[in-house]
A and B are shown apart, each in its own frame.
Chain A
Amino acid sequence: MKISKKQYVGNVRDLKVYGKALQFHKVIYEIVESLPDYERYNLSDMLRRSCSSMVANLAEGNTNFYYKKEYNHLNMVLSKIGECRSALDISRMAGYISESEYKNVDFKSEEILKMVIGMMRRTDRYLDNELDLDKAETFHKSTILPIDISEVHKKVTTLNSLISDLVLQYPITERNNMKDQITRAAKSTLENLNNSKKSSYSQAYLDLNTALGSISETLAFCDISIMQGYITKSQYDEINNLGTEILDLVIDLMNQVNKEKDEEVY
């Protein structure tokens, strides 16, 4: 039996590479601060967007049930690392950063690159090899609970309104970057949740899976926001707690969809 679906999703914050990506993001933002004003809408914007997207893709890839999707998101991370490294090459060439600064940040990016390639190789094995599902991995299954979708819907709506208020605090430099991306991710969660109500079982599962990725992406942007000091600790805690609750509820909903599908088949 070919395995294309994961048995469980882990917490992206437990990944070493995620921590390294956040540290890299911090260093990049420090470099961006030192770039001249005329690069604000060119190089600075590119660097900001690429490194934020890198963190978000890592989170979205890790928090979904399909290996193929994880692989694609990890590939996007590679692409974004390439963008960051190229922008750093330009910064060095233009003399905006010193050689030691460049070497230090390039080493960090290479470290992340190697870790992501390792993760892709691992994921690729699941895509290539035909393994016995039972022997593949030991896993724990979430308990199947009878959850009404309206409960998740209510929580996601609350999260959306919290995010809408939150983005007003973001600096103007984040207008085309994090402000847009966090709003889009939060909206995508709600849209996919709504779509799952009207879909067939397999489509509902896919929609919920996308919603799961989007919520994880939203939380990744919150991690960046607190790190950059755009939001307060209490705001972060509020969003983080709500986001974690939504993640658990969506995973339970997915199990429910799976169970209902099995009952219909047999």
Chain B
Amino acid sequence: MKRVENFRDFQLYLRSMYLTRESYEVIHVCKEDLTDKEVALIRKMAITIPIKIASAVGQVNMKLRFKNLNNAKSIVIQLRATLLEFNKKKKVDDHSFTRIDGYLEDILKLLHGYFWWISNEKAK
């Protein structure tokens, strides 16, 4: 049986938690410009990313891991597109957007690295 990893030791998970914290911060700062629906949308995406990553890393089935991480990746991309749109509409300020975008970029890079590792594992 493969070793069950502790997801809290993973940089990917830690970065996603920073992203969630940052997203909550942005919601707090920009709440007057954002509608309730928009706030709920950001919040939902921000919490789903670390949960999907934890769900993927904390079990041993590689197919399920790939599937959950892939879901996390698509939510990262959706969150990026949503925030970019809000930034264009001046609902999210440039400073907040840049900060979140940095985390999003990091998470995407780490995810790609992880996908590469999974492919290598499969090849073995």
Binding site for B on A (CB under 8 A): 38-39, 41-43, 46, 72, 75-76, 78-83, 85-87, 89-90, 93-94, 113, 117, 120-121, 124
Contact = CB atoms under 8 A, between A and B. Distances in A.
Interface of B: 1, 4, 7-8, 13, 17, 20-21, 24, 39-40, 43-44, 47-48, 50-51, 53-61, 64, 68
Q: Is chain B's binding surface mostly helix, strand, loop or mixed?
A: helix
Contact of B4 (A38, A42, A43, A117): A117
B32 to A, nearest CB: 15
Contact of A90 (B7, B47, B57): B47
For the complex of A and B, 10 pairs with smallest distance between CB atoms: A82-B58, A86-B54, A82-B54, A79-B59, A78-B59, A124-B1, A83-B55, A86-B51, A79-B55, A82-B55
A82 B54 CA distance: 5
Contacts of A79: 55-56, 58-59, 64, 68
Contacts of A120: 1, 60
B9 to A, nearest CB: 13
B51 A41 contact: no
Contacts of B47: 42-43, 46, 87, 90
B40 A38 contact: yes
Given A86-B53, A94-B24, A121-B1, A78 B60 contact: yes
Contacts of B43: 38-39, 42
Given A90-B47, A120-B1, A83 B54 contact: yes
Contacts of B53: 86
Contact of B61 (A72, A87, A90): A72
Nearest to B1: A124
B57 A82 contact: yes
Contact of A75 (B17, B40, B54, B61): B61
26 contacts: A39-B43, A42-B40, A42-B47, A72-B61, A75-B60, A75-B64, A76-B59, A79-B55, A79-B56, A79-B58, A79-B59, A80-B55, A81-B58, A82-B58, A83-B51, A85-B7, A86-B7, A86-B51, A86-B54, A86-B55, A87-B47, A89-B8, A89-B17, A90-B17, A93-B17, A93-B20
